[in-house]
Amino acid sequence: MKYYVYGAGGHGCVVADAVEASGGVVLGFLDDTADPRAQRLYWCIIRPREVDESAPRVHGIGANGVRRRLQEASPIFGNVVHPAASVSRYAVIGAGTVVLAGAVINAGAHIGKGCIVNTSAVVEHDVVLGDYSHVAPRSVLLGGVHIGVGVFVGAGAVVLPGMPVGDNAVVGAGAVVTKAVQAGERVVGVPARRLCK
* Cα 9–chain centre separation: 14
- 39-40 and 43-46: which strand pairing? antiparallel
* Element at 21 (helix H, strand E): helix 10-21
3-state secondary structure of 65: helix
Other beta carbons within 10 angstroms of residue 188's beta carbon come to 17
At residue 109, φ and ψ (nearest 5 deg) are -70, 145
> Is residue 67 assigned to a domain?
no
Q: Determine the Cα–Cα distance for residues 86 and 102; give it in Å rounded to an integer.
A: 7
Q: Are both 57 and 98 inside the same structural domain?
A: no
Q: What's the total number of domains in the chain? A: 2
- The boundaries of the domain holding residue 155 are 80-192
125 is an active site residue: yes
Per-residue pLDDT tens digits for 138-193: 999 999 999 999 999 999 999 999 999 999 999 999 999 999 999 999 999 999 99
pTM over 0.75: yes
* Type of residue found at 83: P
Of 59, 82, 125, 146, which one is the catalytic site residue? 125
Residues 39 and 134 in one domain: no
Tens digits of residue pLDDT in 173-187? 999 999 999 999 999
Q: Are residues 55 and 93 in the same domain?
A: no
